[in-house]
A and B are shown apart, each in its own frame.
Chain A
Amino acid sequence: MPPEPEDDLERMFAAEEAAIADEGFTQRVVQQARPASPWRRATIYGAGFAGFGFAVGGIVDMASKLPADWLPDLSGVMETARVGEAVQNASDATQIAIVAVIAGISFLIAAIAVQSR
């Protein structure tokens, strides 16, 4: 007579689990489970925020190239601050801004991804 299937399934799963010996598995795991470096989080988020700041700086540079009637307030600020030097390097600043935005977003995504691993 065949055994009761449901009980047999559970018994077979349990037997399979019981047959697995440690054989150094725990030791290998614990050896690799090192305390987290106190600098790790600071380094990751520091890099992320540095990238973000670089990106924001680039955006400000880029804003100075926009027509004054698009962003009057921001252009006004820029006129009193940096517009003179920025205009001289318009194409460079735009390129830098684009790279900065990409870099900043990349830094932040990388920081979040690494931190959540």
Chain B
Amino acid sequence: MPGDDISETDLTKAAMAGDREAFGQLVARHQASIRALSRRLARSAADGDDIAQAAFLSAWRRRSTWRGGSFRNWVCTIAFREFLNARRGATGGEVDDLPGEGGQGGERLDLMRAMGALDENERSAVTLCLGAGLSHTEAALAMEAPLGSVKSWVLRGRAKLQKALAAYVRA
């Protein structure tokens, strides 16, 4: 694809200036990580993809509010807000726990099950920090929560995941 060698910074600046082609390249580069984040939060592949799509479109509409930094992390934050909005509007709260397409489904099903055992804050903090690679500070801003709380949610969530996954491996 033309433009693959363009730096992330240049591509982001072009997209934020209204260049749709550059925006499309950014979406192509980051769709997997944003969809993975959204699917983990929503615990549903279909709902997660809807949230990811809404997050990218919201980023496009609000591009004038971008203040520099990582495009991916910015969209991660928007996706988290979209997840909260979707959850507020949800009536049934259906969870399919589907890991999505691809191989190694059993292992990913284990991860999804283990994530499902976390409480809401732990799952969000683990998803943002361990899954999407946001810093604790970035996750705290996205979650509008104190930094110390986010750190402890990540620690507790990680410990629970490790314990659950170790149990699956032994089983």
Contacts and interface: CB of A to CB of B under 8 A. Distances in A.
Interface of A: 2-3, 5-6, 8-10, 12-13, 15-22, 25-26, 28-30, 32-33, 35-36, 116-117
A19 B104 contact: yes
Contacts of A8: 165
Given A2-B166, A29-B53, 5 more contacts: A5-B166, A12-B108, A22-B28, A26-B24, A33-B24
A13 B161 CA distance: 12
A32 B60 CA distance: 10
Given A13-B130, A15-B108, A19-B103, A33 B60 contact: yes
Contacts of B62: 116-117
B56 A29 contact: yes
Interface residues of B, number: 41
Contacts, number: 98
User: Among the interface residues A3, A20, A25, A26, which one has the most CB atoms of the partner chain B within 10 A?
Assistant: A20
Nearest to A5: B162
Contacts of B169: 2-3
A6 B129 CA distance: 13
B129 to A, nearest CB: 11
If over half of A's interface residues share one DSSP class (helix, strand or loop), that class is named, otherwise mixed; here it is: helix
B36 A17 contact: yes
Contact of A17 (B23, B28, B33, B162): B33
A-B pairs, top 4 by smallest CB distance, nearest first, are: A19-B102, A5-B162, A17-B36, A30-B24
Contacts of A18: 32, 102
A17 B38 CA distance: 11
A6 B126 CA distance: 12
B131 interface: yes
A21 B102 CA distance: 8
A25 B131 contact: no
Contacts of B27: 25-26, 29-30
Interface string B30-56: 011101100110000000010011001
5 contacts: A2-B166, A2-B169, A12-B165, A20-B32, A33-B20
Nearest to B99: A16
Contacts of B108: 12, 15-16, 19
